[in-house]
Chains A and B, each alone.
Chain A
């Protein structure tokens, strides 16, 4: 026996009087942690791409969504683990033990290892989550196509044509038309001026208007 045993015994004896503040502190920690999770969700919603993922090619969209979903899961897990390391698990609130000095010492030694392990996992999850989120944003930015300028809808006796106006002059109108299939190269169509009934600027060729 030494002075350390006495100190542990004294700590165990005084723990009885700090049980409620300890529980309240744990609750406050979890409240802060859950608030942080809500913020995290909002941030990830903002970080979904330059415009939105729907405008990306299919492969890039799936990749970006996968990366961002993975990042979200990892960041949530990391955040929960960090909160557990800092404030313990709420499940332990119903776990009673006989608080003696020796038991408190054993519990503390075990807890130190557990908290260290949980903290390492939390840091790893957060790091991987940030990397995945960065990757997702990178994919979204690098594959989002620039919005086309000078889109026009040209009316002709045989129908309408929509595309990017390349030039207009005596030789007629040159319009770059996207083909229906994804990945197909755009086709340049030259319309003689006499065949053009109307030319109207449009924001998109998706729907007539």
Chain B
């Protein structure tokens, strides 16, 4: 989370899966404690709770890149910070304030108020 919080967390707001504008909120990305991912923190634009979304480095599944990517030099084993920043900017974020807002579905993966947004202001620590 960046900057001082001006509005307190609204615990009573009812869970709703709605897209909200995050123009006024800044988010910060930094390496997770174990170094195996990136944690993006900030305040939820809807419920104003402090939210943290963690993304891990990993294998998305099976792949088909092989000799060609090696020959053309497009094969990489380590993600570069620039692409990490770009990836985080393109992501849609969900409220993960951790508070079970009223009417939160029992199978909800993201525990929060249900809001989602695209970041306008994102600072990734360690990125060029």
Query: Could you list which residues of chain A lie within 8 angstroms of chain B, going by C-beta atoms?
Result: 1, 3, 5-6, 9-10, 12-16, 19, 22-23, 26, 84-89, 91-104, 107-108, 111, 114-115, 118
The answer to whether A92 touches B63, judged by C-beta atoms less than 8 angstroms apart, is: yes
The answer to whether A16 touches B58, judged by C-beta atoms less than 8 angstroms apart, is: yes
Query: Could you list which residues of chain B lie within 8 angstroms of chain A, going by C-beta atoms?
Result: 17, 19, 37-38, 55-66, 70, 75-79, 83-84, 87-88, 90-92, 94, 109-110, 116-118
The answer to whether A100 touches B65, judged by C-beta atoms less than 8 angstroms apart, is: no
Partner of B61, one of A6, A85, A88, A100: A88
The answer to whether A15 touches B58, judged by C-beta atoms less than 8 angstroms apart, is: yes
Q: How far is the CA of A19 from the CA of B37 in the complex (A)?
A: 14
28 contacts between A and B (CB under 8 A): A3-B17, A5-B116, A6-B94, A6-B116, A13-B109, A15-B58, A22-B61, A26-B62, A86-B62, A88-B62, A88-B63, A89-B62, A89-B63, A92-B59, A92-B62, A95-B63, A95-B77, A96-B58, A97-B58, A98-B37, A98-B56, A98-B87, A99-B60, A100-B91, A103-B87, A103-B91, A104-B60, A114-B65
Partner of A102, one of B57, B92, B109: B92
How near does chain A come to B20, taking the closest CB pair, in angstroms? 9
Partner of B58, one of A1, A19, A86: A19
How near does chain B come to A85, taking the closest CB pair, in angstroms? 7
How near does chain A come to B38, taking the closest CB pair, in angstroms? 6
The answer to whether A100 touches B77, judged by C-beta atoms less than 8 angstroms apart, is: no
Partner of B59, one of A9, A22, A84: A22
Q: How far is the CA of A102 from the CA of B118 in the complex (A)?
A: 11
How near does chain A come to B34, taking the closest CB pair, in angstroms? 12
How near does chain A come to B102, taking the closest CB pair, in angstroms? 19
The answer to whether A100 touches B59, judged by C-beta atoms less than 8 angstroms apart, is: no
Apart from A111-B63, A114-B65, 5 more pairs, CB < 8 Å: A5-B116, A26-B62, A87-B62, A102-B92, A103-B60
Q: How far is the CA of A109 from the CA of B67 in the complex (A)?
A: 20
Q: How far is the CA of A1 from the CA of B119 in the complex (A)?
A: 12
The answer to whether B87 touches A102, judged by C-beta atoms less than 8 angstroms apart, is: yes
Q: How far is the CA of A92 from the CA of B75 in the complex (A)?
A: 9
Q: How far is the CA of A118 from the CA of B65 in the complex (A)?
A: 10
The answer to whether A96 touches B92, judged by C-beta atoms less than 8 angstroms apart, is: no
Partner of A97, one of B79, B88, B91, B109: B79
> Considering only CB atoms, which chain A residue lies closest to B118 in the complex?
A1
Sorted nearest first, the 7 A-B pairs with minimum C-beta distance are: A88-B62, A92-B63, A114-B64, A1-B19, A100-B91, A96-B57, A5-B92
Partner of B65, one of A1, A15, A95, A99: A95
> Considering only CB atoms, which chain B residue lies closest to A92 in the complex?
B63
Which residues of the partner chain A approach B62 to less than 8 Å between Cβ atoms?
A: 22, 26, 86-89, 92, 111
> Considering only CB atoms, which chain A residue lies closest to B17 in the complex?
A6
The answer to whether A89 touches B61, judged by C-beta atoms less than 8 angstroms apart, is: no
The answer to whether B91 touches A101, judged by C-beta atoms less than 8 angstroms apart, is: yes
Which residues of the partner chain B approach A14 to less than 8 Å between Cβ atoms?
A: 109
